[in-house]
Amino acid sequence: MAQAYTADDVADRPGPRGGRPGTSRPGSRWRDGGTWRRGWIPAALALLTGLVMLCHAAVPNTVGNLGSLLETFLPWVGLAVPVLLVCALLRRSATALAALLVPAVVWLNLFGGLIADKSVTGGNLTVVTHNVNAGNPDPAATAKDVAAAGADVVALEELTGQALPVYEHGLAAAYPYRAVEGTVALWSKYPLHDTAPVDIRLGWVRALRTTVTTPHGDVAVYVAHMPSVRVQLHGGFTADQRDASAAALGRAISAEPLPRVVLLGDLNGTMNDRSLAPLTAQMRSAQGAAGDGFGFSWPAAFPMARIDQIMVKGVVPTRSRVLPDTGSDHLPVAATLRVEG
């Protein structure tokens, strides 16, 4: 005889593997076969993120200097990876998780080498560069902080006529030699000679070149403050003046007769920015060679980019670091170099 069941009887019957009808066991959505069919949007965004990082040099500068803008903040593009990871987990999408491997691997290939500490022991010349900010409310305190770093050579940028005597007074005891040209200056524990301004196509002086006579031989030192760049809604990333100055400075350094060259300054650009190629093609970054981490120096309140640079040719960086806040809108950066006679 056929047996009749009530609705309650049906509801109480065990479902597959003991579960109730219409319910799924924890984790079953990862095993339902749909994990490869879900999450196509985060997967596509992940692949696009990897492509942007991998092919950043192909992003044109013809419209708003978008390529340079991207390259200035390129390491931060990697933040898309954890965001998309959360999306992939919420969607329980194996497709999105697999696609995330692409930007993760690309980011590690581009920037993984910057994470580890590459400093080594040794070095016989320590240099510091610092944009002290023309609107600095306490230049005396900034000068004291810079002197406390104990560097052999100190380059300062964005000096005003009013603040210059304050820095001269604050640094005189530790640095008997100085060279001043326009709004940039160099203080040194070692003698300086052949100091001259460098024309970086601005119409006023924001760069100099001098020879530092160290115990290990002469070193040509350039100090430069490149024109500022702006990010505007209608004009994009305006960097034409900076780019022209980089080209002019690159020509000057290329013609430098001394084999040992150090460039210190606020270049208003990162080592990833193609517009600094006239410099990066012939010099290397002390931070990239001997730093620990990204070494972001601007803005001081929340550093997002390394635009203050120490670049070298003919000398060996052994350590590079960012110094504490001095009251400026930039952080000072330092490097220890090995000058071989």
Q: Same structural domain for residues 136 and 175? A: yes
Would residue 319 count as lying in a domain?
yes
Q: Which domain holds residue 183?
A: 125-338
Query: Is the confidence at residue 5, as pLDDT, over 70?
Result: no
Residue 181, token pair as written in the block: 């040209």
The pLDDT value given to residue 37: 80
The pLDDT value given to residue 72: 92
Q: Same structural domain for residues 108 and 131? A: no
* Region class of 49: left (phi > 0), else alpha (psi between -120 and 50), else beta: alpha
Q: Give the torsion sign (CA, 114, 301, 238, 139).
A: negative
The pLDDT value given to residue 10: 45
Buried b / exposed e over 68-95, threshold 16 CB at 10 Å, is bbbbbebbebbebbeebbebbeebbbbb
165-184, pLDDT tens digit by residue?
999 999 999 999 999 999 99
The pLDDT value given to residue 31: 62
Overall number of domains in the chain: 2
Residue 231, token pair as written in the block: 């990010």
Rg of the chain on CA atoms, in Å:
28
Phi, psi of 46 (to 5 degrees): -65, -45
Q: Same structural domain for residues 30 and 131? A: no
CA–CA dist 70, 57 (Å, integer): 9
Residue by residue, what is the 3-state secondary structure of 150-210? Answer: CCCEEEEECCCCCCHHHHHHHHCCCCCEEEEECCEEEEECCCEEEEEECCCCCCCCCEEEE
> Is residue 62 classed as helix, strand or coil in its secondary structure?
coil
Q: Same structural domain for residues 133 and 108? A: no
Average pLDDT score over the chain: 90
Q: Same structural domain for residues 99 and 180? A: no
The pLDDT value given to residue 231: 66
Q: Same structural domain for residues 38 and 156? A: no
Q: Same structural domain for residues 157 and 105? A: no
Q: Same structural domain for residues 173 and 230? A: yes
The pLDDT value given to residue 26: 52
276-310, pLDDT tens digit by residue?
999 999 999 999 999 999 999 999 999 999 999 99
Q: Same structural domain for residues 179 and 42? A: no
Q: Same structural domain for residues 279 and 321? A: yes
CA–CA dist 302, 310 (Å, integer): 21
CA–CA dist 244, 84 (Å, integer): 39
Type and span of the H or E element at 286 = helix 286-290
Average pLDDT over residues 42-70: 91
Q: Are 221 and 193 in contact (CB under 8 A)?
A: no
The pLDDT value given to residue 258: 98
DSSP for residue 116: S
Average pLDDT over residues 9-33: 52
Type and span of the H or E element at 262 = strand 261-266
Q: Same structural domain for residues 208 and 293? A: yes
Percent of the chain's residues with pLDDT above 70? 88
Would residue 120 count as lying in a domain?
no
Surface-to-core class of residue 256, CB atoms within 10 Å of its CB (0-12 exposed, 13-18 middle, 19+ buried): middle
Would residue 117 count as lying in a domain?
no
What band does 263 get if pLDDT is binned at 50, 70 and 90? very high
Query: Is the confidence at residue 17, as pLDDT, over 90?
Result: no
Query: Is the confidence at residue 143, as pLDDT, over 70?
Result: yes
Residue 137 has a CB neighbour count (10 Å cut-off) of 9
DSSP for residue 65: T
Residue 164, token pair as written in the block: 């210059």
61-93, pLDDT tens digit by residue?
877 788 888 999 999 999 999 999 999 999 899
Residue 227, token pair as written in the block: 């024109």
What band does 33 get if pLDDT is binned at 50, 70 and 90? low
Picking from 112, 143, 175, the residue at the C-terminal end of a domain is 112
* Region class of 188: left (phi > 0), else alpha (psi between -120 and 50), else beta: beta
Query: Is the confidence at residue 132, as pLDDT, over 60?
Result: yes
203-257, pLDDT tens digit by residue?
899 999 999 999 999 999 999 999 988 766 555 566 788 999 999 999 999 999 9
**Cis peptide, bond prior to residue 299, ω within 30 of zero:** yes
What band does 35 get if pLDDT is binned at 50, 70 and 90? confident
Would residue 119 count as lying in a domain?
no
What is the dihedral angle through the alpha carbons of 66, 68, 73, 79, rounded to the nearest 10 degrees? 50
The pLDDT value given to residue 232: 61
